[in-house]
């Protein structure tokens, strides 16, 4: 998509967040209309096994304390579900961040509110499922939620609208992949169907931001290349501040829900390939430098992912040998 703009061809120094917001408004409107045409509204309560639910201790005399054995969800599924839900729980902070960056008016504002409403469904259905199916300790889940939300959230990319667009183009896909793999590993077909529904939304969100990033490359290729380089090199999932995140992330990596290989192959590479980021020519010195550094980083990430693959394969072999012996 090529955009006609009075600023097209302007030097990088001519672009500000305000100018880019204005220049991209038409693209946002087009992408918003496309999104609304393809997105399907769905009912969270239709994905929750309420017939499995029973009272917890508290106000109810028949309350039954939570135990792991009450749910068919696997241990890695339980860990990933808590991480994924706590990430969704911070929606008020995410809304504040993007509303501050993108604004609340025009097509930008309409998208911000629509995105927030769709993301809200994800937290609703996941919490209802977890409580109805007794997949997690409800007391611990609430304690984690309070701790995580009380810390608030500050994006690494809050300084720049362009960096934020680049970040969410990758982060939405990362979230989709994490939900999808969690469903596959959960051990519960009901959970798998629920997370597949959420993943469909996340994929549409990724497409919106990816197409917006493409338009930004047309407008300001050098600045956009630098933003993509910065975001990929310093990428962190938004849930990194939650209690016990590092341990949970390590378990999710071993459990093949989200690890370096998945991050490289299923998240970063697909977006870079679609946008042909490493093939863009005509860049200025700063854009060319960022492109070269991005290429080098991707090579290093692939090498690190290969080392992780080898360790994971060795671990699986040891566990198989133990089981056989």
Numbered residues of the known binding site for Fe cation: 88, 119, 122, 172, 202, 205
By three-state DSSP, how is residue 280 classified? coil
By three-state DSSP, how is residue 258 classified? coil
By three-state DSSP, how is residue 3 classified? coil
CA-based nearest residue to 224, from 264, 266, 280? 280
Going from the C-alpha of 182 to that of each of 28, 122, 177, 196, 310, the distances in angstroms are 31, 14, 8, 10, 22
Q: b vs e for 247-277, b when ≥16 Cβ sit within 10 Å of the residue's Cβ?
A: ebbebbbebebbbbbbbbebbbeebbeebeb
Q: Output the known binding site.
A: 88, 119, 122, 172, 202, 205
Two tokens, residue 37: 């045409």
CB atoms within 10 A of CB 132: 16
Two tokens, residue 172: 């939405």
């Amino acid at each position: 998509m090529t955009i006609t703009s009075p600023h097209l061809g302007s030097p990088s120094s001519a672009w500000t967040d305000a100018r880019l917001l204005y220049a991209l408004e038409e693209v946002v409107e087009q992408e918003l209309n496309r999104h609304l045409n393809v997105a399907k509204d769905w009912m969270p309560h239709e994905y929750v096994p309420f017939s499995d639910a029973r009272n917890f201790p508290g106000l109810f005399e028949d309350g039954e304390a939570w135990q792991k054995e009450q749910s068919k969800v696997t241990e890695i599924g339980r860990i990933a579900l808590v991480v994924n839900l706590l990430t969704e729980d911070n929606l008020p902070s995410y809304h504040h961040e993007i509303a501050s960056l993108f604004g609340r008016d025009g097509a930008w504002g309409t998208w911000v509110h629509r995105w927030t409403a769709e993301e809200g469904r994800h937290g609703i259905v996941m919490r209802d499922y977890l409580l109805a199916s007794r997949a997690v300790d409800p007391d611990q889940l609430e304690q984690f939620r309070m701790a995580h939300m009380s810390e608030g959230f500050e994006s690494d990319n809050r300084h720049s609208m362009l960096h934020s667009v680049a970040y969410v183009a990758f982060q939405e896909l990362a979230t989709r992949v994490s939900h999808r793999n969690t469903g596959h590993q959960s051990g519960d077909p009901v959970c798998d169907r629920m997370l597949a529904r959420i993943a469909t939304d996340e994929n549409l969100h990724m497409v919106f931001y990816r197409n917006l990033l493409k338009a930004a490359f047309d407008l300001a290729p050098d600045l956009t290349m630098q933003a993509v380089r910065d975001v990929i090199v310093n990428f962190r999932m938004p849930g990194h501040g939650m209690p016990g995140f590092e341990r949970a992330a390590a378990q999710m990596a071993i459990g093949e829900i989200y690890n370096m290989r998945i991050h490289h192959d299923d998240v970063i590479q697909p977006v870079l390939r679609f946008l042909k980021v490493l093939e863009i020519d005509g860049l200025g010195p700063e854009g060319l430098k960022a492109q070269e550094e991005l290429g080098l980083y991707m090579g290093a990430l692939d090498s690190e992912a290969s080392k992780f693959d080898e360790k994971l394969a060795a671990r699986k072999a040891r566990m198989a040998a133990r089981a056989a012996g």
